[in-house]
Amino acid sequence: MIWIMVASFILGVFALVGGAEALVRGASRLAAAAGVSSLVIGLTVVAYGTSAPELGVAIRAALTGQADITVGNVVGANILNILLILGVSSLLAPICLSQELVRRDVPLLAVVSLALFLLSVDGRLQRYEGALLILGLIAYTRHAIRRGRESGEEAGYPAALTEVQVAGHDGWLRHIALVVLGLLLLAAGSALVVNAAVSFARAFGVSELVISLTIVAIGTTLPELATSALAARRGDPDITVGNVIGSSLFNIMGVLGTAALLSPGGLAVPLEAVRLDMPIMITAAVALLPVFVIGAQLERWEGAFFLGYYVTFVAYLYLRGTESQALEGYTRAMAGFVIPLTAVTLLALIAARRQARDQRARSGGE
């Protein structure tokens, strides 16, 4: 039995890598062919496609009454998107940031995350609230595509994209087929990895909420991780960051909105998720604002900070899920020492970075 789970896990990883390669290649060529910036393709086509596993898990969990898995999967996936995926991607290569993304999409993610928390305070996402979230996603998508066509005409494309030759109708079909193939491989690979990982976790008696916040969230977010990391290595930062932000927005508005609509009486939200996990998700989204606004790119040291905090979050979830006696001391250490020290360090580094940027600007002016 254990060998079957190991083989399933390995096969899933290979499918994820192949799917990510196909999706990034197809999406980049599709952006050039459609005259839309690769940022918007990353925010919509790639992001929504790589979030298909989260949507599938949410629909299945909503229909079977497993609200803990639905909410935990989305909250855990969004925390993972920001802390782990951006952390790993920026460690592979510093990520240049689009000012359009900084001005519009990153603040929107913080606002939508806060709105989800406020809607969930009463312990339930009502059906009409789910409908509002879905309408918000539709409006955002229309606006993103419209502005993408406008910016695509002015901004140009990376060198790798300008070489794409669009061979009429057949060329379009090839690009779309490559995207679809990538999405199918990503969905199959993530399903294999999740099933194997959940089987291991249940053998150790870990709760469903903790499983959904960690293993299921990691498994369903593997498509985003594989796609963003590969795009970063290939020098396409718009798809890297656009995928993370767009996927996080889709998770809240599309996945939870759909789950709330399908759940009889609305989607029940665990109190533990409202008290502990959603504030962490909001904090991660808000943390992007100063980092993105101050600099023109996400540096490796900033990615290391994000990655370190994700490891800290997973350790906390493990202690909470196993009801370890070390949880209280760990929480006090984090709240009283590690988090304040990190905040001071980050502020000092960001201030130094801003000062260096201002000095370069003055030198250029002279």
Residues 6+ apart with CB under 8 A from 134: 253, 254, 257, 258, 261
Place of tokens 């199959």: 188
| CA atoms of 162 and 139, how far apart (whole Å) | 30
Cα separations in angstroms, 93 against 41, 188, 311 = 21, 28, 20
> In the chain, how many domains are there?
1
Q: How confident is the model at residue 209 (pLDDT cuts 50, 70, 90)?
A: low
Residue 350 lies in a domain: no
Look up residue 157 and give its DSSP letter: -
The confidence score (pLDDT) of residue 116 equals 95
Tokens encoding 42: 């990353």
Q: Residue 149: is its pLDDT beyond 70?
A: no
Residue-range definition of the domain harbouring residue 277: 38-153+205-324
**CA angle (80 as vertex; 129, 251 as ends), nearest 5:** 25
46-55, 160-169, 347-356: which is most confident? 46-55
Q: How confident is the model at residue 225 (pLDDT cuts 50, 70, 90)?
A: confident
Q: Residue 118: is its pLDDT beyond 90?
A: yes
Where are the strands (E) in the chain, listed by range? 95-96, 124-125, 267-268, 297-298
The answer to pTM > 0.95 is no
**CA angle (189 as vertex; 228, 39 as ends), nearest 5:** 25
More confident residue, 232 or 268: 268
Residue 309 lies in a domain: yes
Q: How confident is the model at residue 324 (pLDDT cuts 50, 70, 90)?
A: confident
CATH number of the domain residue 295 falls in: 1.20.1420.30
In the predicted model, what is the mean pLDDT of residues 49-62?
75
Count of all residues that appear for the chain in the document: 366
* pLDDT tens digit sequence for 105-116: 889 999 999 999
Residue 271 lies in a domain: yes
| CA atoms of 212 and 62, how far apart (whole Å) | 14
Residue 117 lies in a domain: yes
Q: Residue 353: is its pLDDT beyond 80?
A: no
Residue 160 lies in a domain: no
Residue 200 lies in a domain: no
Residue 81 lies in a domain: yes
The confidence score (pLDDT) of residue 161 equals 40
**CA angle (304 as vertex; 218, 17 as ends), nearest 5:** 40
Residue 348 lies in a domain: no
Tokens encoding 79: 């925390």
* pLDDT tens digit sequence for 264-293: 888 999 888 888 889 889 988 888 877 776
